[in-house]
């Protein structure tokens, strides 16, 4: 999409070809898909509609929008931030740079929370805490599926909570999802208890932050990623303090990076207050989630 005058018009088809080639050279893993998503966004059309518009010539304004998006994508900015939304659990979520982009593996954590609520709390209303909520994707996905669930969603970041609140409103869940700005459990009343606690806390070992892909390292919030020197800065206090905020027999579900499993196991051994511990593998066969239950 050079700015120099040329004789060939910039049609949808030509822009897609040019952008795919340009993004491929910049190292984008899915250049054609990115090109289509970004062009559809610039034209306010669906991707499918592009297929019927190959010969349409872009207006200057759409072309300028597309040029800006392509430049940012070539600089590894994630497509979800560029278009402002991401699908999770078959639901649409607003995302911006204040929140982590929801990951597909986290859908499995949501499925376990739903399964536990259905199996153990089917006849009653169930109180669920989503600690470190970010975009609110976990709380909103659970509340959408479980009509008897009341969710509390906590994050330390006011900007993330604003996004999460808009996501709850977008899915008409304001009355069943309560938001709280808090440093972990810090602002919860001491006697506030839940049946299920779900959490996807920051867990990247600090020294590994530099090795993350540029799309993550340079664009996603470090507050959402950095788990401190051993990756356990948030996980350990969550495991230590969860018993105070769980009903007897309550459940804890947590996402983490597979390398942390031994450290998590030793915290569980030291605490000795959890039972029925299961380590859940993701679709690539890596241990990704902890499912455990309070021993009383």
Q: Tell whether residue 79 is a contact of ligand SAM (CB under 6 A).
A: no
Q: Tell whether residue 91 is a contact of ligand SAM (CB under 6 A).
A: no
Whichever of 63 and 176 has its CB closer to ligand SAM, that residue is 176
- Distance separating alpha carbons of residues 198 and 230, to the nearest angstrom: 21
The minimum distance between CB 189 and ligand SAM, in angstroms, equals 16
Alpha-carbon distances, residue 119 vs 10, 83, 192, 266 (angstroms): 57, 38, 23, 29
Nearest to residue 239, comparing CAs of 85, 147, 131? 131
Question: Judging by DSSP bridges, how do beta strands 194-199 and 126-131 pair with one another?
Answer: parallel
Nearest to residue 154, comparing CAs of 116, 185, 135, 180? 180
Under rule CB under 6 A, which residues in 215-234 are in contact with ligand SAM? Answer: 223-224
Q: Tell whether residue 157 is a contact of ligand SAM (CB under 6 A).
A: yes
Task: Identify any residues that bridge with 153 across adjacent strands, giving them in sequence order.
Answer: 130, 179
Under rule CB under 6 A, which residues in 109-148 are in contact with ligand SAM? Answer: 132-135, 137-138
Rg of the Cα atoms in the chain:
22
Selected range binding ligand SAM among 20-28, 94-102, 168-176, 278-286, rule: CB under 6 A: 94-102
Among 31, 78, 102, 231, binds ligand SAM (CB under 6 A): 102
Q: Tell whether residue 152 is a contact of ligand SAM (CB under 6 A).
A: no
The minimum distance between CB 244 and ligand SAM, in angstroms, equals 16
The minimum distance between CB 78 and ligand SAM, in angstroms, equals 13
Among 155, 167, 239, 243, binds ligand SAM (CB under 6 A): 155
DSSP letter for each residue of 224-269? GTB--TTS-TTHHHHHHHHHHHEEEEEEEEEE--GGGHHHHHHHHH
Q: Is 99 in contact with 78 (CB distance < 8 Å)?
A: no
Binding site for ligand SAM (CB under 6 A): 99-100, 102, 106, 132-135, 137-138, 154-157, 160, 183-184, 200-202, 223-224
């Amino acid at each position: 999409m050079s700015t120099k005058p040329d004789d060939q018009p910039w049609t949808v088809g030509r822009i897609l070809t040019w952008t795919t080639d340009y993004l491929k050279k910049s190292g984008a893993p899915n250049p054609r898909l990115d090109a289509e998503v970004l062009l559809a966004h610039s034209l306010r059309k669906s991707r499918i509609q592009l297929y019927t518009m190959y010969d349409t010539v872009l207006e200057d304004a759409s072309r300028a929008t597309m040029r800006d998006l392509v430049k940012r994508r070539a600089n590894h900015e994630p497509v979800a931030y560029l278009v402002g939304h991401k699908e999770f659990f078959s639901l649409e979520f607003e995302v911006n740079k204040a929140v982590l982009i929801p990951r597909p593996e986290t859908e499995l954590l949501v499925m376990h929370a739903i399964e536990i609520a259905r199996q153990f709390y089917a006849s009653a209303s169930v109180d669920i805490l989503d600690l470190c909520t970010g975009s609110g994707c976990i709380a909103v996905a659970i509340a959408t599926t479980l009509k008897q669930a009341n969710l509390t969603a906590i994050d330390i970041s006011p900007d993330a909570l604003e996004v999460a609140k808009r996501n709850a409103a977008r899915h008409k869940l304001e009355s069943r999802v309560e938001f709280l700005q808090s440093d972990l459990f810090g602002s919860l009343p001491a006697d506030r208890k839940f049946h299920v606690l779900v959490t996807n806390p920051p867990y990247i070992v600090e020294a590994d932050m530099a090795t993350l892909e540029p799309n993550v390292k340079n664009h996603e919030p470090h507050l959402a990623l950095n788990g401190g020197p051993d990756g356990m800065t948030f996980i350990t206090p969550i495991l230590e303090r969860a018993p105070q905020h769980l009903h007897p027999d309550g459940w804890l579900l947590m996402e983490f990076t597979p390398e942390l499993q031994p450290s998590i196991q030793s915290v569980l051994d030291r605490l000795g207050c959890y039972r029925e511990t299961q380590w859940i593998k993701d679709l690539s066969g890596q241990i990704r989630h902890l499912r455990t239950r309070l021993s009383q």
